[in-house]
Each structure stands twice: as structure tokens, then as C-alpha cells.
Amino acid sequence: MQKEVDVVISGAGPGGLYAAVEALKRGLRVHVFDKKAVIGTPVKCGEYFPVRKEMESLLPSAGEYMDVFNVPQDAIDNTCKTLRVISPTGSEFQFDFEAFILDRTILEQSVAKEVENLGGTIELRKSVDLYTQDHALLVGPNRANGVAAKVVIAADGFPSKIAKTAGLLTQDYLTPNNVAINYEYLMTDLSVDQSVTEMYMGTQFTPGGYGWIIPKGNGSANVGIGIRTSYSRRNDGRGYLNFFINDCPLSKSKLQGGKPGPMIADVLPVDGPLPTTWAGQVMAVGDAAGMVMPTNGGGIATAMITGQIAGQIAADHLQKGLPISAYQNRWTAVMGKEMHVSTRLRRLADHFMGNDFIFDALLHVLRTKGIKDVITCRAPRGLGPFVS
């Protein structure tokens, strides 16, 4: 006999787990699938997480969802106070911006434990898809072993199988310009300033994206690059990353002597939210919905918030008859403006990113204040008409 629940969630990352907690607290029966063998591993993320006061400024309409930033202390590896942007010619633009550097494994396992304590179930080692049977929704590795649900939440990362099957993720979105491929090492034995996160620009090592050094404390850091194939000259992510670490004149001296762990790679959407993030009884959250800020690559906070919203909408739909379409309206009210501005700014920057000389000049025109505006999803002075 097939298991039946109120909500099935595909993906036990921040978006899926926060959706599960919210739905369970409101009395729903929840089943979560995840393809990983262990919650939270491997980590495919820079783990950069702005503190609450920064996000209150970045997302001023997200007031009721700010509690997601009260993460457990043991899930915080380090705190950075400063963000430094390095141009292709080595010019530095630095400003105050406070962020926690998370241990996502600890964070996600903590939230997963809360899911189970609230009565939810989590099934690992299952790559699942969406099926229909007699007008009912099934989620599972196949139709015969699916779990029946009244509402489905796609939180299975990018590109999402569930969102694609539901018709939310289409080929129009999956263009080389809209997708970044990230490559990263956790490096140890480094002497980098543990209070400063750095972002590096340059076509030699990060075409169409940026490189990063995100300190995790005790001489360690997440060191990585994001590239877009529409800008890269070769299909060699490891080569670009190794150049950034060993040969790039902007970064090699800071990373000298560091020991890299296993390389991880991931795919990230960088063209803002999917045009529609719900269909029928399905909602997409986090990366599965394109909820990544295009001008900075941040997606943990937006996954948590959209997860919470989806959990709320699922409960209000099943208990009060609220239409699932309210999900799109609610997240738009919370972060729609910022996502729109960030997307337009990324598209505008695309006209300059292929040429280091021109992009360097652009950064000097923007200066520190304008660069901070772009990274925090605001239109710099004079660019408002181009991104509205």
C-alpha cells in the first residue's frame, strides 16, 4: 500500500528542510526525500551567510522571515566583517559587511533532527521524480515506489527534476548565460586574513563569474571560482581553479602553501527566479526555483525564506483553501524587487564582463559605494532607469 502524506518535499537542503519544519508545525504530515547518503554532505557551497542586520537592510520587506538568520552557534565556523572586491588589474574596493561562514553540514543536520522530532520522515539515497496516478501526485524513484501527496515542494537544487517535470523549468531558462558552474576546494594551512571575504574578477580564471576566498577560521577557507560557459574559452573548470590558486598574480601569494581538499563542483542559476514558481499542487523553492541572487551568488538565505513560505502556503492551502498561486505572490512581496534588480544588474554587467580592461574601468566608475550597491542588489546611482 502506498504511503500517503500531505506534503512531499524533494531535497533536504535549507529550502526543503525549512519548508518541512514550517509545514509540520502547522500540523501537516510531511515526507522528505534526498539523494544524498548523509544530510548536509558533501557541501557544495561557499557557506557565506550574511548576518541578520545585513539581511534586514538587503531584504527590508522580509521582516517576519528574519528568524531564519538565528542559526545555531555550533553551525558557525567563522565571522567575517569585511568584503573586498579585487578588479582584474588588482585594484581593491573594500567595505564593511558582516557575515557568518557556516558549517552547512551541522546546520542542515540540526534542522533535519527538528523535522524528525516534529514527526516528519526523511528518506535518503533516493533520487526522485514527479508522477501522476489517477489524478493524484506521486513522488519517488519510480511510480511503483512513490509517496502520494496533496502538495509537492521541489527543493532538489538546480536543475530541478521536479520543477522540470512540473513544467516550471524550461529550456528557455537553461541557457549557458543563465547558468554558472562552480568549482571549489576547502583549503587548510592558509595565512589569509580570517576576517575578510574576497571576490576576484578576471577572465583568465573566472570567465563570466568571480573567484572567492571565504575564510572558515583556523587557517582554512573555501576557495573557488564560478564560470559561465558562454564566456569561457575551454571546458576545464579544474584548470581555471588551479590557475586561480597557483598562478594568478592577484591571488597566488595569499594561497601559497595551502593544502586543498577534494574538489567539489556544482551548478547554479544566475538569471533570477523562474518565471513561474508554482504549477497545480507543486511549488519550487531555493535553487530549484532560481532563487539565487545573480549579482552575488547568494542562495542559502533565499532558500530558507522561500522554504518557509512554501510550508506556510501548503498548510493554508490544505487547511483554509488558499490557492497555491499565493506562493508566487508572497515571495514576490518579500524579495521580488531585490531579485529583479539583481537580475537586471547582472544582465547589464554582461556587456562588460568579456573584456578585463573594460570591466576594470566599470568598477572604477562605480567605485566602492556602487560596487556595494550591486552586490547587495541595489541600483547604483544613475542606473535606476536601466534596472527598473
Q: What is the mean pLDDT of residues 160-185?
A: 96
> pLDDT averaged over the chain?
95
How many domains are there within the chain? 2
Say how many Å lie between the first and final Cα of the chain, rounded.
53
Residue 282 covered by a domain: yes
How many Å apart are CA 273 and CA 169, to the nearest integer? 10
Supply φ then ψ for residue 375, to 5 degrees.
-65, -30
Within this chain, do residues 256 and 300 fall inside the same structural domain, yes or no?
Answer: no
Predicted local confidence at residue 386, as pLDDT: 61
Say whether pLDDT at 1 is over 70: no
Within this chain, do residues 237 and 130 fall inside the same structural domain, yes or no?
Answer: no
Residue 384 covered by a domain: no
Q: Do residues 193 and 233 lie in contact, with contact meaning Cβ atoms separated by under 8 Å?
A: no
pLDDT tens by residue, 143-171: 989 999 999 999 999 999 999 999 999 99
pLDDT tens by residue, 352-379: 999 999 999 999 999 999 999 999 999 9
Domain boundary among 218, 243, 269: 269
What is the span of the domain harbouring residue 232?
Answer: 76-102+177-269
Residue 163 covered by a domain: yes
Within this chain, do residues 163 and 254 fall inside the same structural domain, yes or no?
Answer: no
pLDDT band of residue 44 (cuts 50, 70, 90) is confident
Nearest to 186 by CA among 151, 238, 221: 221
- The region of weakest confidence among 211-215, 231-235, 279-283, 370-374 is 231-235
Say whether pLDDT at 235 is over 70: yes
Within this chain, do residues 68 and 24 fall inside the same structural domain, yes or no?
Answer: yes
DSSP 8-state secondary structure symbol assigned to residue 226 = E
Say whether pLDDT at 113 is over 80: yes
DSSP 3-state of 12? coil
Say whether pLDDT at 50 is over 70: yes
pLDDT tens by residue, 72-92: 999 999 999 999 999 999 999
Within this chain, do residues 152 and 68 fall inside the same structural domain, yes or no?
Answer: yes
Residue 356 covered by a domain: no
Within this chain, do residues 160 and 192 fall inside the same structural domain, yes or no?
Answer: no
Within this chain, do residues 196 and 137 fall inside the same structural domain, yes or no?
Answer: no
Within this chain, do residues 21 and 158 fall inside the same structural domain, yes or no?
Answer: yes
